[in-house]
Structure 1
Amino acid sequence: MKLSATRTMFHHHTMETNLGRASSKRMSWMWNDLILVLVFVTVFGVEANLVVESSQFDDRSSNIGNNNSTKMLKVLKHLRKINKPSIKSIQSSNGDIIDCIDRHKQIAFDHPFLKNHKIQDPPKMPSIHIARVNTTNFTIDNAQSWHVNGDCPEGTIPVRRTSIEDLMREKSHQHYGKKIALLPPNEYAVASVDGNYYGAEATINIWAPKVENNEFSSSQIWVVSGSFQNPGLNAIEAGWLVDPSLYGDSNPRLFTYWTADSYKKTGCYNLLCSGFVQYSKKIAVGAAIRPISQYSGKQFEITITLWKDQQSKNWWMAFQDEYVGYWPSQIFTNLDHATHMEWGGQILNSKPNGQHTTTEMGSGHFAKEGSRKSSYFRALRTVDDKNAYRDAINFTTFTSNTNCYSIERSRNSNNFFYYGGPGRSPNCR
C-alpha cells in the first residue's frame, strides 16, 4: 500500500459516536419491568451482579427521574444477551468477574452464520515455530489476575462479565464494544508490509500508559484485506489495550477485534458480540494482563500469533502458544488472505479543551529512549500460503504526528522496532 493510501487507512480507525436516546416511558412502568427483567436474569445465573448494579440505579433515581426508562430496560436486555449463563464465577482482584461459560453456549453461536457450527480443533501452528524464550517467569497460568482465585472447568470458557456500569458509560448501549470508521482523531506509530499473507506474529512488551477519559491506547497487530476507500474492508486486530471507557479502569488488557465491512456494522471487541469462537479455558479476552514492564527495570512481554488454517479457512489467534480461539471464515466477506499487515501503537486523540491529548502510547516515552524505556515490537513475522513463517524485515514505518509519538527501527535487529510517546508536550500541541 502506498503511503498516501496508508495514511487514509490510518485515519479511519476510531471508537463509536454517540447515538440519540429513545422516547420516555412512565417511571412506574419502568420499575415493574425492571423487576421482571431482573427475575429473568436470575435464571441465567448473573443475578448477584445485576442486583448490586440495580441498587446503584436506585441510588441515582433522583437524577434519572425524568430520564428515559426504555433505555434502562434495553440496557438490561442487552446485558442479558451478552452475559451467558455461567457454570462457575471467579472474582478477580482488579474487580472483574470472570464467568465460566459452557463452550457450546457462548455468544459466538448467536451469529446467523454459526447456528450449526461445531467448535474446531486447533490447527498446526505455522512451521519453523520458535519456542518462547521465557526470561521473566511469565506463564499462561499467571498472565491474568483472575487465575489467583480459581480456574474454569473443562468444557467451559472464561468470559469477563459485562456490568450495567460498563454499558451506562456509553451513550449508546447497542454499540458498546464497537468501533465506527471515521476520519481522525486516531493517531499511529506503526510498521507495515503489503503483499499476500496468511498470518502475522510479534512479541510486544506490556505497559500501562496513562489514558484520558473517553480515549484509548493500544499496541497491536492488524491483519487487513482491502482498503478503507472500499466498504468491503475486512480486518482482524489483537494485542493489548488500555480503554477506561470500555472497561472502567486503566489496566492493560488482552483484546481482539474484527470487522467485515470497514468497521460500519459488523464486529466488536472480544466476546461482546457474536463471531469470535473462544477455545481456551485459560485465557479471557478482555481481562487484564500482568505483570507490567517498568521504566529502566524488568520488561514483560507477550507473543500474539494470528494465522489462517488452510483446511478449515478459519483465522486463529494464539497467546503465548495458547490457542485462544478463532474467527470462522463464514463471518468474513473478503479475507481469503491479507493484503496488508501492521504492527504498532494507536491512540484516540479527542483533543480535550482544544489541545492535543496527554494520552500516552506504549510506555509513554519516545522510541529514541530505547531498551527498557521505550515500548517495542520484536520478532515480526508474516505467514505464507505454506503455513511457514517469514521474517518481516522489509517493513516500512509511519508516524501520524512525529512531535507526539515516534517509531524507530532497532539497530541490533532487522525485525524489531521501538515506538511510543507522551502525547501533549511543549512540541506536541
Structure 2
Amino acid sequence: MSHLKLLQHLRATLQILVAISLLSSYAKIEARQSLSEVEDLELERQLKLLNKPAIKTIKGRYGDIYDCVDFYEQPAFDHPLLKNHYFHPEMKPTLPNLVRDDTSSDINRPFNIRLKGGGCPTGTVPIRRTTKDDLIRQGFLSQIRGADDLSPDGDDIKFSITDGTNATRFRGYVRYAIVRIPENSTNKIAGAGAILSVHNPQNLSDHQFSAGYIKVQNDNDSIQAGWIVNPHDYGDAHTRMYTYFKSGKTACFNIRCPGFVQINTGVALDGQLTPSTYGGPVQELPLYIARDTSSGDWWLLVESNNIKVGFWPSKLFANLGGFATGAEYGGVVHSSRGVPEPSMGSGYFPSGDLKKDAYLRNSTYLNENNQAKSLNDIFAELYATSPSLYRVYQYPDSKPENGALVIYGGPGEHM
C-alpha cells in the first residue's frame, strides 16, 4: 500500500472511530435524559401522593408552605392500622394535671410557634408541603435507581424516612449527652416533660443534625420531641420543633411516614423556632409527651399552657400500647461517616450559666398513677457517648422554678 493510500485509510478509520464515539456519547446523553424524565415523572407522582389537596395555604417564616388539609385526609390515615379509625377533629384526651410553668423571668415566653393568620380553618390541619427538592435531598432518587442499602457496623445507625411503602436509609453516627431513666420492665412511665432552651448549633452540613429532646420508650418502640437543626430534611439550618417516632422497624421524623394524628389547627409539627443567643436572651420550648389515661394514645403538648398538638395512636405500637419503661432528657447529634461530629446545644460545654448553657428545666415524668414527678425523685443516670466532645450534668440548681435541671452540650469536632 502506497504512503498516500495508507494516510487515506488511517483518515477514514479515524473518522469512523470519531463517528462511533459521537454516536455512543449521544446515546448516553439520550439515556440520561430519558432516565431523568422517568425520575421526574416518578417524583411528581410521589408528590401527588404525599401532598393532600389544600383548602388554604400558609407561608411560614422560612418560606415553607403549610397546606391546610381536611382532618380526615391527613397523612396519618394512610397507615393501614388507621384505615377504620374513630378519630375526629374535636378530640380531647383524658390527661392528668400536667405541670404548668407560670413563673415570671427574663426568659422570652410564651414561645409563639403558631402559624400566622390564625392558622388553618376549623376541620383542617396544617401539613408542611413536601417539595421535589425535599425528595431529592432525602434520597428518593436512589430508590428509583435501586441503590445498594449498606449495612451498619459499629456505632453506625440506620435512620428510615418512609412514605408508607418506600424507605430511604442513610448511614451515620449518633451521639448522645443525656440524663436517662434506664429501661426496666418494672417501670410504668405514662409521660415525660420539660422546658427546653432552644438553640441553633452553627455550621451544620446536610450530613448532620443536632437536637435537644425528651423521649419515652419501651423496647423497640419510642417517641421523642424537641427542637432540631436538620439541613438534610429541610435544606436550611433553621431551628424547628420536631418529633421522631419508632415502631418496630418503622421510624421517621414528623409525618414522613403515616402515624401522627394532627389535631391542632395552628401549630405544625415542624414549627419554626427562634433560637437563644449565647449569653441571652434565652428562648424556651415547654413540651410534654403524655399518655391518654382512657385510650392509651400518646399526646404531644407544647407551650406553658400545654396546647394539644396531636397524638400517636396506641395501636401503632407493640410495646408503647402500654406504659413506657424508660425516658431520656438531653441532646443528640448525627453525622454521616467521614463527616466531623457537629456541635450540640449552645455549642459549648455546660458551665452552670443558664444564659449560656443548653438545658431542660422542670424535667418531669408521669408515674403509673398519672402523677407528675420530678426527675430528681427517681434513679436516673448520666450518659454521654463522646465525653471529650459533649457533656451532660444533672445540675443542683437552687432556684425552685428550675426544678430538676439537666444541662448539656459541646463543641463537637472542629472542621
Seen in structure 2, the aligned counterparts of structure 1 residues 418 and 383 have a Cα distance that, compared at 3 Å, is same
For residue 331 of structure 1, what is the aligned residue in structure 2?
316
Q: Is the 8 A contact 1:177 1:246 kept in 2?
A: no
For 1:255 and 1:134, the matched residues in 2 are separated by 26
TM-score normalized with structure 1 length: 0.76
Deviation at 1:218, TM superposition (A): 1.2
Equivalent of 1:202 in 187, 194, 202: 194
For 2:134 and 2:324, the matched residues in 1 are separated by 33
For 1:254 and 1:281, the matched residues in 2 are separated by 16
Deviations 1:109-161 (A, max 9, x none): 11111112122622244336334436445346x325x41x5521111111111
Matched, 1:126 2:96: yes
Name structure 2 gaps, 5 residues minimum. 1-28, 144-159
The structure that has the greater radius of gyration is 2
Q: Which amino acid aligns with 1:387?
A: N
Matched, 1:340 2:326: yes
For 2:32 and 2:239, the matched residues in 1 are separated by 33
Residues 349-364 of structure 1 aligned to structure 2 (within 5 Å)? 349-352=335-338, 356-357=340-341, 359-364=342-347
For 1:411 and 1:252, the matched residues in 2 are separated by 28
Matched, 1:282 2:266: yes
Equivalent of 2:51 in 66, 76, 83: 83
- Which range is displaced more, 405-414 or 293-302? 405-414
The DSSP-based 3-state class of the residue aligned with 1:258 is strand
Residues 147-162 of structure 1 aligned to structure 2 (within 5 Å)? 147=116, 149=117, 151-162=119-130
Q: Which amino acid aligns with 2:198?
A: I
Q: How many residues align?
A: 350
Equivalent of 1:192 in 175, 180, 189: 180
For residue 411 of structure 2, what is the aligned residue in structure 1?
422
Seen in structure 2, the aligned counterparts of structure 1 residues 94 and 199 have a Cα distance that, compared at 3 Å, is same
Residues 2-21 of structure 1 aligned to structure 2 (within 5 Å)? none
For 2:180 and 2:281, the matched residues in 1 are separated by 28
Name structure 1 gaps, 5 residues minimum. 1-60, 227-232
For 1:63 and 1:237, the matched residues in 2 are separated by 44
Q: Is the 8 A contact 1:313 1:329 kept in 2?
A: yes
Q: Is the 8 A contact 2:113 2:271 kept in 1?
A: no
TM-score normalized with structure 2 length: 0.78
Deviation at 1:62, TM superposition (A): 10
The DSSP-based 3-state class of the residue aligned with 1:408 is strand
Seen in structure 2, the aligned counterparts of structure 1 residues 311 and 260 have a Cα distance that, compared at 3 Å, is same
For 1:318 and 1:237, the matched residues in 2 are separated by 12
Deviation at 1:71, TM superposition (A): 3.0
Matched, 1:317 2:317: no
Deviations 1:371-410 (A, max 9, x none): 2111001111111122210111132111111111111222
For residue 376 of structure 1, what is the aligned residue in structure 2?
359
For 2:104 and 2:70, the matched residues in 1 are separated by 32
Q: Is the 8 A contact 1:368 1:408 kept in 2?
A: no
Q: Which amino acid aligns with 1:116?
A: N
Aligned sequence identity (%): 32
Alignment RMSD, CA only?
2.6
